[in-house]
Structure formats: structure tokens, C-alpha cells
Chains A and B, each alone.
Chain A
Amino acid sequence: MNALGFLRSRLWLVTLSALIALFVVNWILQPNLVTPNVLKSNLSVFLPVILVAIGQTYVVLGGDIDLSVGSIVALVNVVTVSVIAALGGGVGGVLGGIAAGLVVGVACGLLNGALVALLRFQAIVTTFATGIIFGGLALLVLPTAGLPVPAEYWRTYGSSPLGLPVVLWVLLAALLIVALIAGRPFIKHLAAAGGLRTAAFQTGLKLAQIRILAYALCGLFAAFASLSLTGETASGDPLMGRTLALASISAVVLGGTALAGGSGSAFGSVLGALVLGMIGNVIFFAGLPFDYQTLIQGLITLLALAGGVLVARRN
């Protein structure tokens, strides 16, 4: 096998190299990068995209897409803060709010999955529409930003149990879930469903169930992202997470997952999300206007897509 072929099956290696290069550039521009506090605040900023991108990976791997993740993040946020407020705060209220948020996230995913896999609506249009619906619901639940969460919530999120910050624990927990999912037959079935749906069907796989589960996982990870963001902002915001849908898809593509489905990994998407975050850092510390970040993010996604198409043509 030649070098190109080797890289072709390990696209995440390219992403990893890019990440290391960006990290070095960032370090040069920002000499205090490698200090616990700066690393922690960086991770706090990157974490929501990482979590949403992990969830998005499963949907994309199965040959679908979820454009509604940003609105799911907003809806989970407003439901969580509202339930906490309704329960009167306190530890019990916070736990109740988190549980409600997770349920809402999974429910949104199940709805998307049912529309796409059972009613056979087109994924891209369906989730675009449900995204609008979820966003509308978020505004209905909490019309304006505000409604702070109790101190127990954001203090815990900012703390460092066992010497490591909570944001790192969340990332480790997410990676553990990724590893658990990667070790189960489900991931093979999902890749088959996204790879060649007719073949997966002929083989007798339960396609609808597989695709719905992928959307539910996506909703769950969007809820995780929302809860992390809530720990950061400490209040409700019905317009939260607007950029997350496109950022997560960029991260998934950068992480080596084929947008057509069938190949890729959530681990790669984590690298992709980190690359996106580091690009933002580099732009900031290089003194460029922040607006350039979305421009460059778009260009890089386009490049990654073009690379994927070129690879596919060579095959």
C-alpha cells in the first residue's frame, strides 16, 4: 500500500497533524497557552462543539445529517433553567433540571429519527424544519435571555474534583461513551446503513431502528453540550448554540467522516472540533478580526469536502 492509500484510510492522522501544527502556532502567538488555567478555559470554549460533533458523527455515519442540533441545544438550555426555577433551585432542582434537559434532547433526536427513518423524509430538509420548530419552542419556553441558574450549578461546573477540572471530566466521560459505542455491533450496523443502504437492508439489518438510535444519540450529545454551555453562561438563552449545527458538521468532515456516510469515527470528529477551536484561537491571537473565523471555517470545510471527493474519485 502506498503512502496515499495509508492516509486515505486514516484521514484523522491528517487532522491530528493539523491540530499539532495549529497548537504550536497558537503557543508561539500565546506563550502562556500551556498553563492549567488557559488550557482549561480553552477546553471550556471547545467542549460544546466537541460534544455536538460527537453526536453529529453518528447521524452522518448512518448516511443522514442533523441540522437541528443548534436548536436542540437552545431548547435543552431553556427547559433546564425553567425546570430548575420551577423546582425552586437547590441540588434537587438542579438534578431535576438536568434530567429534564437530557430527556428533551433525546426526545428531539427521536422525533428527527422517526421523521427521517420511519416516514422517509429527506434528512437535510426535515432537520432544517425541525430546527426551526425546536428554536420556536425554545422562544416559547423562555422568550428572552435571563433566568440565572443557581450557584450550585455553575460553581460545580467550574470546580476541579480530584484535581482535574469538570470540563475535562466531561470530555473524558464523553470519550468513554464514544469508546463504549465503538465497541458494539451497533457501530458496524450504522456504518453499513450509511455505506450502502440497499446492502444493509438485504442483509436483514433493522435500518429504521439503527437510524433512529443515531438521531437519539445526536440529541443526547446536543443535550450534554447544552448543559456544559449552561454551566458556562449560568443562565437561560433561547438563541444559544446557533452556530453549532454548521460547526459540528465542519468538525465531522474535518475528522475524516464521509458526509455520504459509511466511514468515519467520533474520535476523528473530536480532533476536528479541536482543530476548528484552535483555528479560532490562532485568528484571535494573530490579531485578525474575529469575523474571519467563520470564513476560514467555511473554506476549510470546503477543502475537506473537496479532498474527500478527490479520494472517492481516485477509488
Chain B
Amino acid sequence: MTPVLEATGITKRFGAVVALSNGTLSVGKGEVHALLGANGSGKSTLCKIIAGTVARDSGSLRLDGGDVSLKSPREAEARGIALFYQELSLVPQLSVADNIFLGHERTGAGGFLDSKQLRADTEALIARFASVAGSGFTADAPVSRLTPDQRQLVEILKVLAHKPRLIIFDEATAALDRRQVELFFTILRELKAEGVSTIFISHRMDEIFEISDRITVMRNGATVAAFATSETDRDSVVRSMIGDVAIRDRVERTVPASTGAPRLQLTGASNRRVRNVSLALKPGEILGLGGLQGQGQSALLQGLFGALPFTAGSIEIDGKPVRIHKPAEAIRHGLAYVSGDRGRDAALHGRSIFENIASATMVREKLALVWPRNLKPRFEAAAASLNTKYDGMEAPIGSLSGGNQQKIFIARWLATDAPVLLLDDPTKGIDLGAKADFFALVRELADKGTSIIFYASEDAELLSLCDRILVFNSGAISAELSGTTLDSFHLTNAAYGEVA
């Protein structure tokens, strides 16, 4: 039987970066096809190409055996391919019916809205999912009054209204709890029975084995394996995801022996994106946060720093309970936060290097007036210890390269002598040379006794730098890796939800 979709040898470059070197995927009619891969393996790019939001450089894309070139999402939609968005495409003020048919309104004579037809079509769609719709789910209800899972259902109905043959669900279950996932799977099976094919991207291995018919694995921009789900097991899938890399590729270091209370102790912390996280951080320890992107690692760091305050749980620093509700409090308690998104979270644009460094010192030491002459030597020493290249303290921050800017933002905290350093994917957009400098520096700081929590989206960075890794999945810690389990096999396996 001809597959509904057949992608072969698809490539895509973004500037100098090869996002996709060989995207190959074949999806049959009525098949639930799971697409797996680590961060940056190219699965999202491949999906975007299939959905027409990104144009491919080369390779062939065939629908029902015929070559197609999809130049826009609209074109893909007309061909029966739909990409499922996560709560991004609903207008809260509009009704369920208006949202489902937005842009495809039912019109009658003279192009006027046909509200009867709209209502009939919407109710027919809702009727198919009546068992899971819940109360208040009517055609006229404004989306703003619906519960999150009802909104998810509206998203699905919106996709189904175009009668697609292939639906791409990119992490559709990421925000759902177990009961909602069951509901979602009920819908998926219903679609399957109707002959609709789905591409399913998920970060939970048990879900993938529960729902999928086939599995395609991607690594470093290329398709590396395809399995029939019933003929494979987790270990084989995980092994094909990590490839033949050396299982242990780290430089050992010994954590300075500590006595007494941990530097930082977090108990049962929750906020909008993390739930019930507990951890203890020793002086001089480098603690890694691992897992797939967006599983709550950044939210945990922002929670500690008071930018996304915890709503539950307690924080202790050097054995004393503290309350942190805003960054200024975190800074005064000796926490430092370095974000990978320098432009958004760190830079005072258009201001001098001096001002960019001084901001944290001013908050930490409650300075109302600043005498540049007194502070400058301190700042220059901090910047020099990082091998920062800059013209002078008065030069604007924008005159530095990304790597040197990041060093300035670390110098900002070195100048405050912060004993706890929170690193939130700090090497984003930094060249390799600067990265090596940066890692050497982090180790040096740790050796001197600074406690560091380090989140990186690249597993290799975590494995080479950290003494211990907490793996996150859906906002909670799913595993702790240390000693012999500190390798990419265990890390990947844990990222996909199986406790190692």
C-alpha cells in the first residue's frame, strides 16, 4: 500500500547550521507514527517542512505517491496536512464555533455568515467527542470560559474541521496530566479508526509505546532508524537515539568535601512550571539539570531567583529558611542568575559595561549612590579573571561579541561574590572557543567553593561538567544521575520518563 506521506532525504540549512541532513519518514494510512530524537535532532524542522511552514532545501516529499512542493501552511492544509498547535491558535473572546471555523466561516447567499450551518457543523463535530467534552462545552460558549482540557479539545476540533488526512501533534501531551492524556489517546484512536494518519512527537516513552504503531528515530539532523513498535523495546530505541557515542566522556573532579548543612536546600518547591521539586546543593558542587527542553529546568532556576516565584515549598540557604519572591531578595541572599537569553534577561542595552556589571552589586549591597572610582577596580578584576576582551569600562555592552557579553554578565555576579550561581542554558549562541573558556571558568569557580546549578539543552555539556544531574520531565524530577549512571544512555533514557 502506498504510504500517505513519504519524505526522503530532506535537507535544510539555516545559515551555516545544518538543521536537517537526511529527513526520512514514511507514514501509512491510519497509522500513529511516533517521531523521536534528542533536542536539536531535527524532528521539529522535519515536521515544519511537512506542514509547509518551512521550505526544504532538497529531498523529496510525496503525498499518496505524488511529488508535492508545499510552499505555505495554507497549501499543506489544502492537501490535508494539519499541524496541531498548543493552545496558541484560539481566540479567547470568540465562541467555540467561531474558533473552530475561524478563517473558514460557513457562508450562505451573498457571502453572509450562515450561523445555522455553523452551529450544525460545530455540533456534529462536538457530538463525536461528547463523551469527553465535559459540561459547558457548547458551540456558543466563549473559549475563555472553558477549562484547559476543553480548550485542547477545541484545538483538536479546529484541526479536524478541515478533514485532514495527516495530523502532526508536536508535543501535544506535554501540558496534559494523565487523565487528559487518556482523553487525548481516545481521540487519537478514534481518528485512527477513521483512517486519519498522525505523526506524534512526545517526550514520554511509555506514551509512545502505548499509542504508536511505528517509531522513527532522528539524531543530529538525520533519520537513523525506523521500528515497528510491537517489534522493538525501549533500550533499542534509546540506543539508536544516542548512537555510538562514548558512554563516558567526562573529566572527573572531586567535589570539595563539605561539612554541615548544604549550601542550598529546596524542599517541595512548585510554581507555574515545576511541581514538588526537592534538591540539596553542596558547596563547590556542580549540579546539572537535564532532560528535554522546556521540562521545567529554566522555571526551577527562575523560581530560585524569584523571577517565577515558588507558590509552595521552602528554601534554605546555609541551613536558614529564606523567602524569595523577587530577584532583589534572591540577590541579597547570594544567588546569581545567568541566562542564555542575554538580550532579554541580562543586557542593559545601550548602557556601558560598567553599568551592566554594577547593577547586581548595587542591589546586593543596597547602594543608593555609586562612586565609579571605587567600584571600577573591583569590576576590572572580575572581568579580567574571565579573560574578557573589551575596550574599557565605558564602552557600550553592544560593542562586545556574544561570548564576551556573557563573560560580562558573569563578572556582574563575580563582583558580588555570590556563593550560588544559577546557569540557565548559558552557552546559547556562543562560539566553541568561548564555550571552552566558559566551562573552564565554571569548574574553577566550583573548585573555589561556589555552588552551581547548571541547566544546558546540550547533553554533552551536562555530562562533561556536572557532578550530578537531576533529569526533568514535565516539571518534576524523574531521575538523579551520578557516578556510574552519569552517561548519555541513562540521561536519554531518563529524559524520556523511565527512571534509571
Which A residues fall within an 8 A CB radius of B?
Answer: 9, 183-185, 188-189, 191-192, 195-196, 198-200, 202-205, 258, 262-263, 315
Q: How far is the CA of A205 from the CA of B73 in the complex (A)?
A: 11
Q: A188-B98, A192-B102, A204-B103 are in contact. Are A262 and B93 (CB under 8 A)?
A: yes
Q: How far is the CA of A199 from the CA of B144 in the complex (A)?
A: 13
Question: Are A203 and B102 in contact (CB-based, < 8 A)?
Answer: yes
Question: Are B142 and A196 in contact (CB-based, < 8 A)?
Answer: no
Of B84-92, B272-280, B289-297, the stretch lying at the interface with chain A is: B84-92
Q: Give, as a whole number of angstroms, the nearest-CB distance from A14 to chain B.
A: 18
Q: A192-B91, A195-B91, A195-B94 are in contact. Are A205 and B111 (CB under 8 A)?
A: no
**Residue numbers in A under 8 Å from B112 (CB-CB):** 183-184
Q: A191-B94, A196-B90, A199-B90 are in contact. Are A205 and B103 (CB under 8 A)?
A: yes
**Residue numbers in A under 8 Å from B92 (CB-CB):** 195-196, 262
- The interface centre, meaning the residue of B85, B91, B102, B103 with most chain A CB atoms within 10 A of its CB, is B91
Question: Are B102 and A263 in contact (CB-based, < 8 A)?
Answer: no
Q: Give, as a whole number of angstroms, the nearest-CB distance from B166 to chain A.
A: 17
Q: List the B residue with the shortest CB-CB distance to A200.
A: B91
Per-position binary interface string of chain B over residues 111-125, scored 1 when its CB falls under 8 Å from any chain A CB and 0 otherwise: 111000000000000
Question: Are B103 and A203 in contact (CB-based, < 8 A)?
Answer: yes
Question: Are B90 and A263 in contact (CB-based, < 8 A)?
Answer: no
Taking CB atoms and an 8 Å cut-off, the chain B residues in 98-112 that contact chain A are 98, 102-103, 105, 107, 111-112
Question: Are B102 and A189 in contact (CB-based, < 8 A)?
Answer: yes
Q: How far is the CA of A115 from the CA of B93 in the complex (A)?
A: 26
Count of B interface residues, CB-CB < 8 Å: 22
User: Of B88, B89, B113, which one neighbours A183 at CB under 8 angstroms?
Assistant: B113
Question: Are B94 and A192 in contact (CB-based, < 8 A)?
Answer: yes
Q: Give, as a whole number of angstroms, the nearest-CB distance from A257 to chain B.
A: 11
B285 interfacial by beta-carbon distance below 8 Å: no
B425 interfacial by beta-carbon distance below 8 Å: no
Question: Are A188 and B113 in contact (CB-based, < 8 A)?
Answer: yes
**Residue numbers in A under 8 Å from B94 (CB-CB):** 188, 191-192, 195, 262
Q: List the B residue with the shortest CB-CB distance to A194.
A: B93
The contact sample of 30 A-B pairs, CB cut-off 8 A, is A183-B113, A184-B111, A184-B113, A185-B107, A185-B111, A185-B113, A188-B98, A188-B113, A189-B102, A189-B103, A191-B93, A191-B98, A192-B94, A192-B102, A195-B93, A195-B94, A196-B90, A196-B92, A198-B88, A200-B91, A200-B102, A202-B88, A203-B89, A203-B102, A204-B77, A204-B103, A205-B102, A205-B103, A262-B94, A263-B93
Q: How far is the CA of A205 from the CA of B103 in the complex (A)?
A: 6
**Residue numbers in B under 8 Å from A203 (CB-CB):** 89, 102-103
User: Of A9, A198, A199, A202, which one neighbours B142 at CB under 8 angstroms?
Assistant: A9
**Residue numbers in B under 8 Å from A185 (CB-CB):** 105, 107, 111, 113
Q: How far is the CA of A28 from the CA of B145 in the complex (A)?
A: 43
**Residue numbers in B under 8 Å from A195 (CB-CB):** 91-94
- The interface centre, meaning the residue of B93, B105, B112, B144 with most chain A CB atoms within 10 A of its CB, is B93
Ranked 10 nearest A-B pairs via Cβ: A262-B93, A185-B105, A195-B91, A202-B89, A195-B93, A183-B112, A263-B93, A192-B91, A196-B91, A199-B89
B74 interfacial by beta-carbon distance below 8 Å: yes
Q: How far is the CA of A305 from the CA of B26 in the complex (A)?
A: 55
Q: How far is the CA of A77 from the CA of B439 in the complex (A)?
A: 70
Q: How far is the CA of A263 from the CA of B145 in the complex (A)?
A: 14
**Residue numbers in B under 8 Å from A205 (CB-CB):** 102-103
**Residue numbers in A under 8 Å from B85 (CB-CB):** 202
Q: Give, as a whole number of angstroms, the nearest-CB distance from A264 to chain B.
A: 9
Question: Are A315 and B144 in contact (CB-based, < 8 A)?
Answer: yes
**Residue numbers in A under 8 Å from B103 (CB-CB):** 189, 203-205
Q: How far is the CA of A185 from the CA of B144 in the complex (A)?
A: 21
Q: A189-B102, A203-B103, A204-B103 are in contact. Are A262 and B91 (CB under 8 A)?
A: yes
Q: How far is the CA of A296 from the CA of B74 in the complex (A)?
A: 50
Question: Are A204 and B73 in contact (CB-based, < 8 A)?
Answer: yes
Q: How far is the CA of A198 from the CA of B90 in the complex (A)?
A: 9
**Residue numbers in B under 8 Å from A258 (CB-CB):** 93
**Residue numbers in A under 8 Å from B102 (CB-CB):** 188-189, 192, 200, 203, 205
- The interface centre, meaning the residue of A183, A199, A200, A315 with most chain B CB atoms within 10 A of its CB, is A199
Per-position binary interface string of chain B over residues 315-359, scored 1 when its CB falls under 8 Å from any chain A CB and 0 otherwise: 000000000000000000000000000000000000000000000
Known contacts A185-B111, A192-B102, A315-B145, then 10 further A-B pairs from the complex at CB < 8 Å, ordered by chain A residue: A183-B112, A184-B111, A184-B112, A189-B103, A191-B94, A196-B91, A196-B92, A204-B73, A262-B92, A263-B93
**Residue numbers in A under 8 Å from B90 (CB-CB):** 196, 199
Q: List the A residue with the shortest CB-CB distance to B77.
A: A204
Q: A9-B142, A205-B103 are in contact. Are A191 and B74 (CB under 8 A)?
A: no
Q: Give, as a whole number of angstroms, the nearest-CB distance from B292 to chain A.
A: 23
Q: Give, as a whole number of angstroms, the nearest-CB distance from A303 to chain B.
A: 22
Q: How far is the CA of A191 from the CA of B107 in the complex (A)?
A: 17
Q: List the A residue with the shortest CB-CB distance to B105.
A: A185
Q: How far is the CA of A14 from the CA of B73 in the complex (A)?
A: 43
Q: How far is the CA of A200 from the CA of B90 in the complex (A)?
A: 8
**Residue numbers in A under 8 Å from B144 (CB-CB):** 315
Q: How far is the CA of A189 from the CA of B91 in the complex (A)?
A: 10
**Residue numbers in B under 8 Å from A198 (CB-CB):** 88
Q: How far is the CA of A192 from the CA of B73 in the complex (A)?
A: 19
- The interface centre, meaning the residue of A191, A198, A202 with most chain B CB atoms within 10 A of its CB, is A202
Q: Give, as a whole number of angstroms, the nearest-CB distance from A256 to chain B.
A: 12
Q: How far is the CA of A202 from the CA of B83 in the complex (A)?
A: 10
**Residue numbers in B under 8 Å from A262 (CB-CB):** 91-94
Question: Are B91 and A191 in contact (CB-based, < 8 A)?
Answer: yes
User: Of A9, A184, A199, A315, which one neighbours B91 at CB under 8 angstroms?
Assistant: A199
**Residue numbers in B under 8 Å from A188 (CB-CB):** 94, 98, 102, 105, 113
Q: How far is the CA of A183 from the CA of B115 in the complex (A)?
A: 9
**Residue numbers in B under 8 Å from A263 (CB-CB):** 93
Q: List the B residue with the shortest CB-CB distance to A201.
A: B89
**Residue numbers in B under 8 Å from A9 (CB-CB):** 142
